[in-house]
Amino acid sequence: MSGPIWSFGDRILDCGERTLIMGIVNCTPDSFSDGGMNMDPEIAVASAMQMLADGADILDVGGESTRPGSDPVSVDEELRRVLPVIEWLAREVPDVPLSVDTMKAEVAHAALANGACIVNDVTAGRDPAMFATVAEARAGIVLMHMLGEPKTMQDEPAYRDVVGQVHSYLKERTRAAVAAGVPAEAVVIDPGIGFGKTLEHNLAVLRAVGSFFDIGRPVLVGPSRKRFIGALLDAEVGERLGGTAGAVAWLAAEGCHIVRVHDVREMAQAVKVVDAIKGGSA
């Protein structure tokens, strides 16, 4: 294998051979780009299956919006949204790694017991029970940087050195996860584009994405349809496909290991071309 390995349970993902695609399955009424589209579990599963056909390697199922200004939802409501989809997908495509996008250990525990094998935590384990939950399930975890919380994270975010501070935070949270019993090889890090960051902060982090590799874990980035693309292009959410492709191509060229996207078909094509140019598998 040619790069960093993401290993958890009985799964081993080579994150260096090519750029991996994580498809976003939002089971929420208020997500910033596709809220309400996948509230019916049957529709959500059909959407997820299409993502797999289009080239997704991992599916990320979420039941609580983390868009700027969003309000939290209860554990029960989040579980009502995600569990039927995770259970259905686990039956239909048991070989596909399923991720639950949650910051709540209680939701993570139920999702992992019903077919998920990864927790994508935008708070990097702020819930005191999260790391123990992941360790007990022998699951993978994505640790993301977010300044503050979704409700207030875009209220004048400020840093002395955004790249340095995000790097230090992700390094510390990786150490904390390992200290709590999560194997280092089960951890992926995410610098959190759009989570408590201005346009210039986001561009600085993207420009320096390679600086996070020395933490020693695969790097995942989610630029898809984000507000910074809209600001650069003066484009509404539905008009950000080209801008997203530009960001994804940049990330693939810089060696980012996993990209989290809505438009799987187009982004899978983009990274396949970039990976081939880089000398990866064509």
Which residues are catalytic, by number? 226, 260
- In whole angstroms, what is the distance from residue 29 CA to residue 46 CA? 17
Asked whether the beta carbons of 112 and 133 are under 8 A apart, the reply is yes
Long-range contacts formed by 14-17: CB under 8 A, 24+ apart = 15/188, 15/218, 15/257, 15/258, 16/257, 17/280, 17/281
- Residue 96 backbone dihedrals phi, psi, to 5 degrees: -90, 130
Quick check: 226 and 194 in contact, CB under 8 A? yes
Q: Please count the CA atoms within 13 angstroms of the CA of 79 that sit on its side-chain side.
A: 14
Cα 88 to chain centroid distance, Å, stands at: 21
**CB 228, CB 193: distance < 8 Å:** yes
Q: Say if strands 20-26 and 140-144 run parallel, antiparallel, or are unpaired.
A: unpaired
User: What is the spatial distance between Cα 152 and Cα 127, in angstroms, rounded to a whole number?
Assistant: 18
Instruction: Give the separation between CA 104 and CA 47, rounded to whole angstroms.
Output: 25
Helix (H, G, I), strand (E, B) or coil at 251: helix
